[in-house]
Amino acid sequence: MLDNLNILIQAPVFNLQLLLDGLFIGAVFALAAYGLALVWGVMNVKNLAQGELVIMGGYIAYLLAKLGVHPIFSVPIAMIVMFIFGWVTYVLIIRWVIEKDLFISLLSTFGLAIVVQQGLNLAFGPEVQTVESGFGTESFLGGNLSVATIKFISLVLCVILAAAVVSFMKLSRMGQAIRATSQDPRAARVMGINTDRVYAFTFSLNAAICGAAGVLVSMIWVIQPFYGVAYSVRAFVIVIVAGLGNLPGVIMAALGLGVAETYAGFSLGAELQQATVVILLLLVLVVRQILSARQRQVVQ
């Protein structure tokens, strides 16, 4: 375990490698976390099926790659398919739980997560899959630092997607309606906004963002039907750290999580990488609890 730490100290260039890998994967986490923050903030639904939506997007790319579509072109296709899936999910499940107890929304999306996981498992089998993008690897610093070209491309795609979503939220009519609904649903209804449609659109948008993130994951990492839980946990870690409606915070937390996870995976061993994410979630919750307890003391 400590041998790997020694490598990091003796060959500082490895640090750069890990840092870059962490940032590339963190950009994908940021997309999933932004979707979660959107649904959480607007509809107050905590979506435990977030990671499963990501993995679904990955499998769409996998399926399309089998049919001969290049994974980069499957980004928009996956977004459209996931948008429709999100809308159907909203009509069947989410619409009925918005007004209810928060635990109900958590548990129903957990049920959805189980359905998606097991459905994917039946359809594609439990093997680990990846989608070949056909790009090479760039080397820097005399071959000590190597980065797959696809990771650069995925980072650029992440930035484009994030910019598109943010400008959509700021500029379009629907984006304004979503923000108005998140501020005060009742007032939004009074102003003639069809909040039910806004909710449906928000959830579908989240599914589409997750689908795009999934395509990127399938290109730069691996997908497997049961890997979704880790993405849900990561999204929760990021959103709980950053808070709702705090886009710079989400991006910073996501990149930080990506780097922390790559370091942990390298120095502690790959079998502890999942555990690291989950333990980070517990730590974040405990810290949050301590902070809120302190706040309560101040109020008293």
Partner 1 sequence: MSISQQSWALQFAILAAGLVAPFIFPDYTFQITVLWLMIVFALTWDLMGGQMGYNSLGNIFFFGAGMYICAVVQVAVAGYDIGEYTAAYGGVKVDITTTNYYLGVAVGLTAAAIGCAFMSIFLSRALLGLRGPYFAIGTLGLALAGGELVGAWTWVGGGGGIALPVFPGEADDRSLFFYFLLFLEAVIVFLFLKQLYLTRFGLAINAIRDDEEKAEGMGIHTLRHKSVAWAISAFFLGISGGVFGNMIGFIEPLEVAFPTITFGIFMVAMPLLGGKGTLWGPVLGAFLFHTIKEVTWTYLLGWQWVALGVIIIINVVYFPQGIMGWIQSKWPERFGIVVDRKTSETENVKEAAS
Residues of this chain that interact with partner 1 (CB under 8 A) are 46, 48, 93, 96-97, 100-108, 110-119, 121-122, 229, 233, 236, 240, 269, 271-272, 274-275, 278-279, 281-282, 285-286, 288-290, 292-293
Backbone angles phi, psi at 226, to 5 degrees: -100, 10
Q: Toward partner 1, which CB reaches closer, 7 or 286?
A: 286
As a whole number of angstroms, the distance between CA 40 and CA 158 comes to: 21
Q: Toward partner 1, which CB reaches closer, 3 or 271?
A: 271
Contact 58, 211 (CB under 8 A): no
Strand ranges, E, within the chain: 137-140, 145-148
Q: Toward partner 1, which CB reaches closer, 74 or 262?
A: 262
CB of 125 to partner 1, least distance (A): 11
CB of 112 to partner 1, least distance (A): 6
As a whole number of angstroms, the distance between CA 261 and CA 273 comes to: 7
Q: What is the DSSP string of 250-283?
A: HHHHHHHHHHHHHHHHHHH-GGGHHHHHHHHHHH
CB of 229 to partner 1, least distance (A): 7
CB of 158 to partner 1, least distance (A): 25
Q: Toward partner 1, which CB reaches closer, 116 or 219?
A: 116
Q: Toward partner 1, which CB reaches closer, 17 or 47?
A: 47
Please classify residue 214 by burial: count the beta carbons closer than 10 Å to its beta carbon, then call 0-12 exposed, 13-18 middle and 19+ buried: buried
Residue 77, both tokens: 């296709």
CB of 271 to partner 1, least distance (A): 5
